[in-house]
């Protein structure tokens, strides 16, 4: 079936903000099919603890694809405990070269409280400038809002929540039902 015949799954906004020794990843709860909201309370931000090592991950894209990637990331973290950068690069390499993984349609924001990365299927492991990153349909709105708020008195969670509220006001594929996870650096 051609993409034009099927409306496809759209939407989500995930943001990562590092400020004051903490990193917050927040995500909205909306799942849309075309112009219809299917669910408003999806949980797209998760805490992983492979081998007692805490990592927070948020995902945009296909849920099944994202869970496949999160499982692979956990495996990589178990093989390289405490080395999020190395595990992320190994996941990105596999994602780019493995024929099965190449078909996955998702993006991840991951943090261990020290590092903050966006991992893509193009083989990218991106460390954001300005301690803020965002992905998904409302990602650019949330990113712009958070960048503007970084010099305010708000802490990382306050910035993430306000930026997500702004994105939800602008992006029809983003709602205000947030999952927020904080991890110290």
| Residues carrying an active site annotation | 12
Which residue carries 């999806």 as its tokens? 42
Other beta carbons within 10 Å of 126: 15
Which residue carries 């991106």 as its tokens? 126
Tokens of 150: 């970084």
Cα–Cα distance between 127 and 87 in angstroms, integer? 14
Cα–Cα distance between 167 and 141 in angstroms, integer? 5
Classify residue 122 by burial, with Cβ atoms within 10 Å: 0-12, 13-18, 19+: exposed
| DSSP 3-state of 172 | coil
Output b/e per residue, 49-60; b: 16+ Cβ within 10 A: ebeebebbbbbb
Cα–Cα distance between 55 and 47 in angstroms, integer? 6
């Amino acid at each position: 079936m051609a993409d034009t015949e099927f409306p496809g799954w759209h939407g989500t906004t995930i943001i990562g903000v590092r400020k004051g020794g903490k990193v917050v990843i927040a995500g909205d709860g909306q799942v849309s099919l075309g112009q219809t909201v299917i669910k408003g309370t999806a949980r797209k931000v998760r805490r992983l603890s492979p081998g007692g090592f805490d990592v927070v991950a948020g995902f945009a894209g296909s849920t099944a694809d994202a869970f496949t990637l999160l499982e692979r990331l956990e495996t990589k973290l178990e093989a390289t405990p405490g080395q999020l950068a190395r595990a992320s690069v190994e996941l990105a390499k596999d994602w780019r070269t493995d024929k099965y993984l190449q078909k996955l349609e998702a993006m991840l924001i991951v943090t261990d409280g020290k590092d903050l990365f966006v991992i893509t299927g193009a083989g990218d492991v991106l460390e954001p400038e300005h301690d803020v990153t965002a992905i998904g349909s409302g990602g650019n709105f949330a990113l712009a809002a958070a960048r503007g708020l970084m010099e305010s008195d708000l802490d990382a969670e306050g910035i993430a929540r306000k930026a997500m509220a702004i994105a939800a006001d602008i992006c029809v594929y983003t709602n205000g039902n947030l999952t927020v996870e904080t991890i110290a650096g």
